[in-house]
Structure 1
Amino acid sequence: MARRLVRKISLTGLVLVGLLLLNISPVLASTQSDIENSLICPACFAEAMSVAACQDSTAQQIKEEIRQKLAMGQTKEQIIKIYVDKYGEKILTNPPKKGFNLMAWVIPFLGIMMGGALIYLALGRWVKVPRTKKGREKTKPGVLDDYYNARVDEEYKKYL
């Protein structure tokens, strides 16, 4: 009976150790997910689909390679650099924020700011009430009204 208990305990321990070895730790799993989301599948360049979203055999192969490299102790940056060296920067889902690619990050914000400024200026001109010039004399209300009323009465009498 003691033998049976020892076997059960050792078998349970072996199973647990095996599951722990086969299972990737949560930190490695999140790192793997980050890497998969930051790389475009080489078979899906036209659709720009990430390795995580792609179901192609190439994506499955890359997922397995990433899992192996993480198990060997490589960092996220090292793994991404390997794929950038192999395929170029077009494999990245987000262009790096340096050099010419910086324009892809800056131009949309500049466009929004410039568009807002143009709308502000246009609305300001449409709503703005024109000012009178300083040198121009203002006429009193009613002076011209009497003149035009008299003219209208004269014209009206001609046709009656």
Structure 2
Amino acid sequence: MFKILHKRYWGTAVLLLLGALLLATPVLAQDTVVTDNEVNEVAKDLFCPVCESTPLDVCPTQACADWRELIREQLAEGQSPEEVQAYFARQYGDGVLANPPKQGFNLILWLLPVVAIVLGGFFFSRYMRTLRTSAAGVAEDLEAEGAEAVQPPIAQDDYKARLEAELRNR
């Protein structure tokens, strides 16, 4: 008796499984839907090669609209944002990347400001040291000449008296 029940339920189970697979097939066949936000996340890190320094996500040209659609297609195919950016860099050069790689000539552009600041600080400190030593030498010369070489300061009282007299005459 157990064998008869088992065969009857076996056929039902197979039919239910086939029905579930038929229902799930359209879901599995659908492409993944890529939203505008996902496209703009990738596009903001790319510059339009046609427009000067305009990010791809805000560029109004038709070419940029086509490139955003290309980004959408590549993301729908399952490519990562890094792979999409690498594709654009291969097609149009590193100039389309908002953050170009730090290698080759770009490395020089990243290091040049740092080197310029370090060299500028070095030369400025040497200049200040030279000024201090020359000021110290002048002070020593004045001490060596003695107090008689130093002229007395201009009498401020005489100046004030002449200024007051002139103001009274008016």
- C-alpha distance after superposition, 1:56-96 (max 9, x if no partner): 11111111221221122101121112112211222223321
Residues matched between the structures, number: 115
- C-alpha distance after superposition, 1:3-23 (max 9, x if no partner): xxxxxxxxxxxxxxxxxx757
The match for 1:35 among 32, 42, 59 is 42
- What amino acid does structure 1 have at the position aligned with 2:59? C
Q: What is the distance in 1 between the residues matched to 2:33 and 2:94?
A: 33
TM-score by length of 2: 0.55
Checking the alignment, whether the CA contact within 8 Å between 2:34 and 2:75 is kept in structure 1 is no
The match for 1:51 among 50, 56, 72 is 56
Deviation at 1:106, TM superposition (A): 0.5
Q: What is the distance in 2 between the residues matched to 1:117 and 1:131?
A: 23
Q: What is the distance in 2 between the residues matched to 1:113 and 1:54?
A: 39
Q: What is the distance in 2 between the residues matched to 1:117 and 1:140?
A: 35
1:130 and 2:136 are equivalent in the alignment: yes
Unaligned stretches of 5+ residues in structure 1: 1-20, 133-137, 147-160
Change (3 A) 1:121 1:61: same
Q: Give 1:102-141 correspondences, 5 Å limit.
A: 102-128=107-133, 129-131=135-137, 141=146
Change (3 A) 1:139 1:122: closer
Secondary structure of the equivalent of 2:136?
A: coil
Q: What is the distance in 1 between the residues matched to 2:130 and 2:145?
A: 28
Q: Which runs of 4+ in 1 moved over 3 A?
A: 127-132, 138-142
TM-score by length of 1: 0.57
Aligned CA-pair RMSD:
3.1
Q: What is the distance in 1 between the residues matched to 2:86 and 2:110?
A: 21
- What amino acid does structure 1 have at the position aligned with 2:136? P
Identity %: 27
Deviation at 1:107, TM superposition (A): 0.5
Deviation at 1:139, TM superposition (A): 5.1
Partner of 2:83: 78
